Amino acid sequence: MASPRLLDSIDLPGGLDQLDHQQIEQLAREVRSEIIRTVARNGGHLAPSLGVVELTIALHRVLKCPRDKIIWDVGHQSYAHKILTGRLDRFDTLRKYGGLSGFPRRDESPFDAFNTGHSSTSISAALGMAIARDLAGERYTVVAVIGDGSLTGGMAFEALNHAGHLGRDLIVILNDNEMSISRNVGALAAYLSRIRMHPGVRKVKGDVERLVERLPAVGDKLSIAVKRVKGSIKYLVVPGMLFEELGFTYLGPIDGHDEALLERTIRDARDKGGPVLIHIVTQKGRGYGPSEENPRIFHGVGPFDVESGTLKSKDGPWFTDFFRDAMVELGQDDSRIVAITAAMPDGTGLSEFARRFPERFIDVGIAEQHAVTLACGLASQGFIPVVAIYSTFLQRAYDQIIHDLALQHLHVVLAIDRAGLAGEDGPTHHGAFDISYLRAVPGMVVLAPKDGEELREMLRWAILSEGPVAIRYPRDAARPVLTTRVGMKPGFGLPKAEVLREGKDVTLVALGSMVNLALDCARTLSRYNVSATVINSRAAKPIDIETIGRFATGSAMVATLEENTLTGGFGEGVTQGLHDAGLGDIPVVRFGLPDRFVEHGPRSLLLQRCGLSQDNIVKSILSQLGSRVAGRAEDDRKWT
């Protein structure tokens, strides 16, 4: 009989203290198997989590959480932390509807000190806690764990700058695996790599510092020169000087898989006091062949076969696939097009463009704000930047969109992927707000394609247009809309709404991902002798009220469908537009995301829960129409 797992036999996390070296190694293996098994079934962030198993064990052996606080940056690497802090029995529900979140959540466990999901926030949050601790006169340790990718986000540097200045007790663990989702980029990545390449110099750090300090300084001029020499010698040979200059004690680089060494270093950091940065070097995807070989693919994955590492296939082609192909096509024809990503060349579909036109591809790191303003600089000089960023991460660049882009009416195309519900990643990743936050910006054109082909057309239109244009599309397979249609022609003014079906009772006005659903609803409504017009609005701004109004006038009601929060959304735009056009007496029912944060789970289930399902929409329309259609249904029972 196989011996019971340590995981099941010790009290976690308290029992970690009693383990010896061998048992810790065994525990690390067990935690990894648990993560691999679960992610293979549920999908999730495999490689980041596998890389920090020893670190997580060491942290929980040294710290006494939840009194001590750990803030996991992004939070996608917190699976081992979840397993070791009382959630092993529910770990199989990871990312499932109603199950454990894939990210730290304060409402899930007191061990999750801070909610994360977007990168580069951990040091700010940790510093806030450290200040709170000191104000309250309490004593506990605060640790931020941040990856080298997340350190490329400007906010991390704002926090380092502040923390170094304040000098409070704070530990930052820099988990350096040389990877963001793809290979990390930028001068900082090169700097970290230089430190890693010469670990030996760490040993001489103290000697060099002492030696440099002892260099004689004679006379004023000489003194300045010597100071300069001292500076450059230190920069040459002392690793982590950048962090030291920011006010941190730098410890490292150390092997992030040597649990005993990690423990010692965390204790040293705590004893040292003040702001301390521990630089650990880890292997992303550690302990599972396929993810060690391909950490990029296994950063975040859908279900896969554990034996072979083969990913279970997903439906396609996705909207992202159409965007990928369209970018290559357009990039070939027009050398003014520059593609920009914020550390997500694969996720956004820009990798192929990068391969074909490397000189016109820019990965700025996790720096959405910089990406947008950089694009504005390019646009001001006659290039046509296409900035591809997920809806949720573009929230970071709101001021840049207003101040740098819209105010100067520059011609930049924002390709907004994952607009709408993102599914299993949950509320930090849902793109629920982009229509609301972009509609408010003067001069913005906001488009949403109903299918892949229309995404291509919109991109071409946007590139040949002028001013800021945003195109938002969902994390979904691009089911083609098979119906009579009029294509969008570049250079023919603002996009007009497309009437896909004409009826006299109800006018359904749908945006992007909701057009297919509106057509399905219209077909079902016809079984109840309710004839519906279906309009593909194409734009959330400006909305073609003329076309919508023409059909709305003769119908009993208008229903709007959108995959965005109803607050400030497309439906509000239609309602307001009809009102302004003197058609305010036509009742409008709005279907969209509710005014609350939507949980995690399969996208289709979440849409249904938000009322964006055929059942709910048809039922609501029939009940709104009430007596007008009473008795006309073939099978009323189905909807009651």
Ligand X SMILES: Cc1ncc(C[n+]2csc(CCOP(=O)(O)OP(=O)(O)O)c2C)c(N)n1
Contact 127, 166 (CB under 8 A): yes
Q: Which residues contact 136 (CB under 8 A, 6 or more apart)?
A: none
The piece of 99-107, 142-150, 379-387, 485-493 that touches ligand X (CB under 6 A) is 142-150
DSSP assignment, residue 419? -
Q: Are 439 and 574 spatial neighbours (Cβ–Cβ below 8 Å)? A: no
Q: Is 457 known to be catalytic?
A: no
Q: Which of 366, 446, 578, 621 binds ligand X (CB under 6 A)?
A: 366
Residue 310 carries which DSSP code? P
CB of 621 to ligand X, least distance (A): 38
The dihedral through the CA atoms of 543, 545, 550, 554 has a sign that is positive
Shortest distance, position 217 Cβ to ligand X, whole Å: 41
Nearest distance from residue 344's CB to ligand X, in Å?
6
> Of the two residues 186 and 495, which places its CB atom closer to ligand X in the complex?
186
Contact 152, 369 (CB under 8 A): no
Question: What token pair was written down for 467?
Answer: 């001013």
CA triple 164-167-172, angle to 5 deg: 60
Cβ at position 596, least distance to ligand X in Å: 22
| Closest of 606, 582, 564, 347 to residue 446, by C-alpha | 564
The answer to whether residue 436 forms part of the interface with ligand X (CB under 6 A) is no
Number of residues that bind ligand X (CB under 6 A): 25
Q: Which of 284, 360, 541, 603 is catalytic?
A: 284
Exposure b/e, 541-571, CB count within 10 A at least 16 = b: bebbbebbbbbbeebbbbbbbbbbbbebbbb
**Contact range with ligand X by CB under 6 A, out of 58-66, 337-345, 435-443, 579-587:** 337-345
State how far the Cα of 461 lies from the Cα of 468, in Å rounded to an integer: 12
Q: How far apart are CA 213 and CA 230, in angstroms?
A: 8
The reply on whether position 48 binds ligand X by CB under 6 A is: yes
By beta-carbon proximity to ligand X, the closer residue of 149 and 186 is 149
In the complex, minimum distance from the CB of residue 108 to ligand X, in angstroms, rounded to a whole number? 18
Nearest Cα to Cα of residue 367 among 120, 71, 116? 120
Which residue in the list 286, 396, 501, 541 is annotated as catalytic? 396
Residue with the two structure tokens 């229309």:
454
5-13, 62-70, 174-182, 243-251 -> range binding ligand X (CB under 6 A): 174-182
Which of 85, 101, 115, 150 binds ligand X (CB under 6 A)? It is: 150
Site for ligand X in 284-303 (CB under 6 A): 284, 299
415 binds ligand X (CB under 6 A): no
Nearest to 429, CA basis, from 393, 405, 460, 457: 393
CB of 346 to ligand X, least distance (A): 10
Say whether residue 376 binds ligand X (CB under 6 A).
no
Binding to ligand X (CB under 6 A): which residues in 390-409?
A: 393, 396
**59, 344, 539, 629: which one binds ligand X (CB under 6 A):** 344
Residue 64 known to be catalytic: no
Q: Which residue is nearest to ligand X (CB)?
A: 147
Decide if 368 is catalytic: yes
Q: In whole angstroms, how close is the CB of 632 to ligand X at the nearest point? A: 50
If the CB atoms of residues 246 and 342 are measured against ligand X, the closer one turns out to be 342
Q: For residue 192, state whether it binds ligand X (rule: CB under 6 A).
A: no
Instruction: State yes or no: residue 541 binds ligand X (CB under 6 A).
Output: no
Q: How many residues does the chain have?
A: 640
Q: Which stretch binds ligand X (CB under 6 A): 30-38, 69-77, 185-193, 573-581?
A: 69-77
CA–CA gap between residue 618 and residue 120 (Å, rounded): 43
Position among 44, 149, 349, 449 found at the interface with ligand X (CB under 6 A): 149
In Å, what is the CA distance from 474 to each residue of 168, 421, 513, 538, 604?
A: 43, 8, 7, 14, 12
Q: Decide: is 56 part of the binding site for ligand X (CB under 6 A).
A: no
Catalogue the E-assigned strands of 52-189: 69-72, 142-147, 170-176
Out of 42, 85, 177, 249, the only residue in the binding site for ligand X (CB under 6 A) is 177
Q: How far, rounded to the nearest angstrom, does the alpha carbon of residue 47 sit from its chain's CA centroid? A: 16
> How many helices (H) and strands (E) in the chain?
25, 17
Give the residue, chosen from 77, 265, 555, 575, that forms a contact with ligand X under the rule CB under 6 A: 77
CB of 50 to ligand X, least distance (A): 10
Quote the tokens at residue 393: 């991460």
- In the chain, the amino acid numbered 555 is S
Residues in 112-131 that interact with ligand X by CB under 6 A: 118-119
Radius of gyration, CA atoms only, the chain? 28
Residue 76: CB minimum distance to ligand X, A: 5
* Active-site residue list: 284, 368, 396
The residues binding ligand X (CB under 6 A) are 48, 51, 74, 76-77, 118-119, 147-150, 175, 177, 179-181, 284, 299, 342-344, 366, 368, 393, 396
